[in-house]
């Protein structure tokens, strides 16, 4: 039987295991701190744990295997893109963005994606597999080790749909925020989803004050369904209602992501229509020009169009930010680098 990753276990799970092995419960805390605070990658480094217990753990558990395969520095900003190989042959990507307020890491939650958004590079090969909590944590820990500085913000906005890998993503968040681990405040964690309504409803009942970003990209269901086929199961108005409820339940403002595509969703009428639906409610819109993906062919809206789109939203009571396109010279858009690497290396 394949060994289970010790990195993917929450403290409660680890306590049960330790007790079942006839050890004292506090041993679990020690082990958890080795894995998530000191972030070691083998059992022998656990100097305060007995040889006997280490041997028993080693029989059934292993450490997440994560190897940095490539590192690309952007020349236009401070972005660094990482390609990792995890647990065998799975290639995933993560992005580090360095800001004046700290280091922000964008992690992948799946290798590939099955949501089939028509503008996205991650969706091209479909879903390869879900990532484990250990593999998500590994991206943060490896980058932290690489730069020798603490990561202060994590966005789950890389390849994959985190709510399509719900249990592992939630484990990841809880471990990342745990006091005995990385101790990252929930308010410094953002989960981005294409809008799976039942899972958004589930998420708001977990009592986790994380930030929610929803990829909206359209002013109505018609345009949205063409761009994001998965949204056929999530009627536009129902999605907006779920987001409103999320804010009421958690006190956290929802951010709508809106990538402007020339001629498709960037017209003034689109801005007015969107403002009519969300104007005056507690939310925020992030506008970004779509990243050009060769296979997809969509062109970004011009700068002028983006500014007038933003103006219309603002004049109609919508808070809006125009986001810079980060790392455009290093394929930093979702899934682009993983895809080009996999193509070249026959993966």
Which positions are catalytic? Answer: 93, 334
* Among 322, 341, 315, 344, residue whose Cα is nearest residue 330: 341
Place of tokens 């992005």: 95
Rg of the chain over Cα atoms, rounded to whole angstroms, equals: 21
Please report how close the Cβ of residue 192 comes to ligand SAH at its closest, in angstroms.
Answer: 4
Give the largest CA-CA distance in the chain: 69
* Site for ligand SAH contains 193 (CB under 6 A): yes
* Site for ligand SAH contains 333 (CB under 6 A): yes
**Stretch of 42-50, 197-205, 288-296, 305-313 contacting ligand SAH, by CB under 6 A:** 288-296
Q: Is 215 or 305 the residue whose CB approaches ligand SAH more closely?
A: 215
* Site for ligand SAH contains 194 (CB under 6 A): yes
Tokens of 179: 């006091």
The one among 15, 93, 135, 161 contacting ligand SAH by CB under 6 A: 161
318 three-state secondary structure: coil
User: How far, in Å, are 92, 148, 151, 152, 160 from residue 106 at the CA level?
Assistant: 12, 17, 11, 11, 12
**Stretch of 39-47, 87-95, 191-199, 275-283 contacting ligand SAH, by CB under 6 A:** 191-199
Tokens of 305: 């169009």
Site residues for ligand SAH, window 8-67 (CB under 6 A)? none
Q: Is 15 or 257 the residue whose CB approaches ligand SAH more closely?
A: 257
Q: Are 156 and 193 in contact (CB under 8 A)?
A: no
* Site for ligand SAH contains 192 (CB under 6 A): yes
Q: Are 115 and 164 in contact (CB under 8 A)?
A: yes
* Site for ligand SAH contains 293 (CB under 6 A): yes
**Stretch of 76-84, 139-147, 190-198, 307-315 contacting ligand SAH, by CB under 6 A:** 190-198
Which H or E element spans position 332?
Answer: none
User: How far, in Å, are 64, 156, 159, 224, 255 from residue 117 at the CA level?
Assistant: 30, 17, 12, 10, 19
Binding pattern for the stretch 109-128 against ligand SAH, x by CB under 6 A and - elsewhere: ------x-x-xx--------
Report the helix count and the strand count for the chain, using DSSP H and E.
11, 14
Q: Is 142 or 192 the residue whose CB approaches ligand SAH more closely?
A: 192
Please report how close the Cβ of residue 5 comes to ligand SAH at its closest, in angstroms.
Answer: 23
Residues engaged in binding ligand SAH (CB under 6 A): 115, 117, 119-120, 157, 161, 192-194, 215, 257, 259, 288, 290-291, 293, 333-334
């Amino acid at each position: 039987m394949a060994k289970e990753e010790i990195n993917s276990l929450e403290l409660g799970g680890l306590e049960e295991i330790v007790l079942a092995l006839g050890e004292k419960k506090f041993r679990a805390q020690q082990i958890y701190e080795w894995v998530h605070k000191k972030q070691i990658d083998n059992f022998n480094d656990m100097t305060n744990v007995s040889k006997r217990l280490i041997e028993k753990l080693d029989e059934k558990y292993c450490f997440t295997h994560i190897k940095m395969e490539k590192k690309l520095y952007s020349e236009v900003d401070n972005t660094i893109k990482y390609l990792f190989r995890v647990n065998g042959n799975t290639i995933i990507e993560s992005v580090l963005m360095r800001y004046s307020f700290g280091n922000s890491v964008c992690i992948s939650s799946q290798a590939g994606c099955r949501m089939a958004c028509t503008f996205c590079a991650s969706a091209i090969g479909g879903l390869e597999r879900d990532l484990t909590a250990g593999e998500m944590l590994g991206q943060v820990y490896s980058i932290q080790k690489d730069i020798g500085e603490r990561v202060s913000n994590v966005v789950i906005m890389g390849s994959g749909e985190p709510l399509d890998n719900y249990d592992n993503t939630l484990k990841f968040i809880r471990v990342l925020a745990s006091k005995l681990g990385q101790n990252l405040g929930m308010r410094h964690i953002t989960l981005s989803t294409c809008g799976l309504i039942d899972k958004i409803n589930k998420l708001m009942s977990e009592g986790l004050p994380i930030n929610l970003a929803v990829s909206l990209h359209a002013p109505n269901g018609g345009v949205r369904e063409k761009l994001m086929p998965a949204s056929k199961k999530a009627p536009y108005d129902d999605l907006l209602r779920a987001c409103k409820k999320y804010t009421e339940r958690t006190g956290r403002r929802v951010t709508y992501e809106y990538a402007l595509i020339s001629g498709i969703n960037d017209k003034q009428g689109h801005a007015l229509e969107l403002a009519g639906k969300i104007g005056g409610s507690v939310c925020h819109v992030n506008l970004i020009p779509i990243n050009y993906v060769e296979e997809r062919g969509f062109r970004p809206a011009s700068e002028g169009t983006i500014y007038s789109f933003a103006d219309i939203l603002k004049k109609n009571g919508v808070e809006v930010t125009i986001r810079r396109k980060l790392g455009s010279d290093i394929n930093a858009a979702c899934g682009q680098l993983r895809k080009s690497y996999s193509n070249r290396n026959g993966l």
